Structure formats: structure tokens, C-alpha cells
């Protein structure tokens, strides 16, 4: 028999190591139940896993419905972010839409961080504002468009985060902020499956739970189990939840129902504990 060519072996090995699906956690109860799944999920996102003494919570002071929402990052000395801010070596990626508040990005840029905001609604492909803030007419998605498919050409400014990192020549992101209006679940899944999440120091993102989210399928209990499993994957990657903000200004809905005393929107802040 002829030996298997090395190129084929490496290709086959690579195929074996690619993950196509996340590991679903066991059901919260012996029989699948929305009640048990919802209670487990809501308790999980409402319980800090690690303490953080120094956070940028200024926007919470005197909070009202018109106040800016908090985007909390951990500035404790034991993690790298505060040191990288002081040395002007930090990098922030912000994913959002044009009507978002950008005070957090401006504040980080004023601190000397290199800030890249990805917003498909801006008019120019790339805009620089000041020394440290760039706007890019790009939408971050969980898949790259296929140029061979005519419909995908309309979305040529849509790319996976891993693709953007490679194109920009960036190895690491100190903070990833995301408010992507229900695309967060599939984008997060892509970051986990492709190990891009390991290149991120802190992850601050909104989750929207009034409906399953884009391309999230299954009945209600299966959807909540999937959400929970995704966040557990973050924990398995050594991310720890250090702050949760429940937005009381948004409809108090959980999968299209007023139930479980839940808001339709939470902001979750995670720190990668491998980044010391």
C-alpha cells in the first residue's frame, strides 16, 4: 500500500479538529421543561462568577430611563486590561448599529485605546475620528458570504470576526463589545467553534431573550437550553461573568411572554481569566 500523502493527512486531521456544533448541556430536569430551563438560565446570567472591584459603572449613578446603558469592563490590577490601557496598548472592537450610543467607544479612545467600531450603516468604507477611533462599514456575522452565490454579493460587507482579525493583522482584542440585536447567539457560537474567543480579553455583550434570535431553532425549552449551553462554553474557556445589567427600560418579556420576572435585554460582562 502507498503511504497516505502528508498533505492529505494534515487536511484530514484538520477536518477532525474542526467543531461544527457546541456541546449541549444536559436538560435542567428529567423531562424537558421551559420552566426549569428558564429558571436555570436566568439564575446563571444573574450570578457573578468572579468579583471585580474596579468597574466603569459611572453610567449607573443616578440611572434613569434616559441614562446611557453601562458597558462594564473589569479594571482590577490582576487582569491585563488596566495595564494595557496605561501603556496605551489596548484594543477595543465594537459591533453595533448606527443608532447605538458610542460614549463608551469615545471614552476608551480618549484613554489611548485603539478602537474599531464596525457599523454597516456608515457612508464611507473607513472613517478615522481622532487619533484612536476608526469606523468601518462592516457587519460582523457568524459566516462569511459566498461570492459564488448571487444573493451573497449583496452582503459583501459582512464578515466573520476571525476573518476581520486576519485581514487587519490583529492577534488579540482586549475588549469586544457587542450589541447586535439578536444576532449575538450565532456570532458567539461562531467565536467559540473557531476558537476566536480565546483571542479576546473581555467580552461585553447584550443578550436579547424576547425571541430565540436569528437562526436559532427549536421549541422554547430547547432554545433556552442552547442559550445556556453557549454561555457554559464560555465558562469552559475560562471566561467568568463579573457583571450583569438587567435593562428595566426594555419590555419585560421572555420568549414573547411576560414571565419569570425577566427583562428582554441583559448586558453581560465576562473576563478571560487566562489573560493575566
User: Residue 13 falls within a domain, yes or no?
Assistant: no
CA–CA dist 209, 186 (Å, integer) = 13
- In this prediction, residue 99 carries a pLDDT of 64
CATH of the domain at 230: 3.40.50
Q: How many domains does the chain have?
A: 1
Specify the pTM. 0.86
Instruction: Determine the length of the chain.
Output: 276
For β-strands 265-272 and 200-208, DSSP reports them as: antiparallel
Is it the case that residue 51 has pLDDT exceeding 50? yes
Say yes or no to pLDDT of 265 above 80. yes
Cα distances from 42 to residues 22, 103, 132, 156, 157, in angstroms, run: 20, 28, 37, 37, 35
Can you give the pLDDT at residue 71?
Answer: 92
Query: For residue 87, what are the domain limits?
Result: 22-59+68-272
Indicate whether 2 belongs to any domain.
no
Amino acid at each position: 500500500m502507498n503511504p497516505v500523502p502528508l498533505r492529505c493527512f494534515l487536511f484530514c486531521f484538520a477536518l477532525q479538529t474542526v467543531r461544527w456544533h457546541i456541546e449541549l448541556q444536559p436538560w435542567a430536569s428529567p423531562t424537558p421543561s421551559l420552566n426549569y430551563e428558564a429558571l436555570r438560565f436566568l439564575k446563571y446570567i444573574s450570578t457573578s462568577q468572579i468579583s471585580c472591584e474596579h468597574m466603569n459603572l459611572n453610567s449607573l449613578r443616578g440611572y434613569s430611563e434616559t441614562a446611557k446603558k453601562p458597558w462594564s469592563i473589569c479594571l482590577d490590577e490582576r487582569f491585563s486590561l488596566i495595564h494595557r490601557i496605561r501603556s496605551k496598548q489596548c484594543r477595543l472592537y465594537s459591533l453595533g448599529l448606527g443608532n447605538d450610543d458610542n460614549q463608551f467607544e469615545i471614552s476608551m479612545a480618549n484613554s489611548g485605546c485603539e478602537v474599531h467600531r464596525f457599523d454597516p450603516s456608515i457612508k464611507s468604507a473607513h472613517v478615522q475620528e481622532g487619533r484612536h477611533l476608526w469606523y468601518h462599514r462592516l457587519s460582523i456575522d457568524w459566516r462569511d458570504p459566498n461570492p459564488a452565490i448571487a444573493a451573497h454579493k449583496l452582503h459583501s460587507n459582512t464578515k466573520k470576526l476571525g476573518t476581520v482579525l486576519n485581514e487587519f493583522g490583529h492577534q488579540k482584542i482586549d475588549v469586544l463589545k457587542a450589541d447586535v440585536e439578536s444576532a449575538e447567539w450565532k456570532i458567539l457560537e461562531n467565536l467559540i467553534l473557531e476558537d476566536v474567543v480565546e483571542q479576546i480579553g473581555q467580552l461585553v455583550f447584550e443578550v436579547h431573550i424576547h425571541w430565540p434570535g436569528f437562526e436559532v431553532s427549536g421549541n422554547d425549552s430547547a432554545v433556552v437550553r442552547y442559550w445556556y449551553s453557549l454561555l457554559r462554553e464560555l465558562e469552559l474557556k475560562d471566561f467568568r461573568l463579573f457583571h450583569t445589567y438587567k435593562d428595566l427600560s426594555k419590555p419585560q418579556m421572555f420568549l414573547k411572554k411576560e414571565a419569570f420576572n425577566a427583562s428582554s435585554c441583559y448586558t453581560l460582562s465576562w473576563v478571560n481569566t487566562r489573560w493575566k
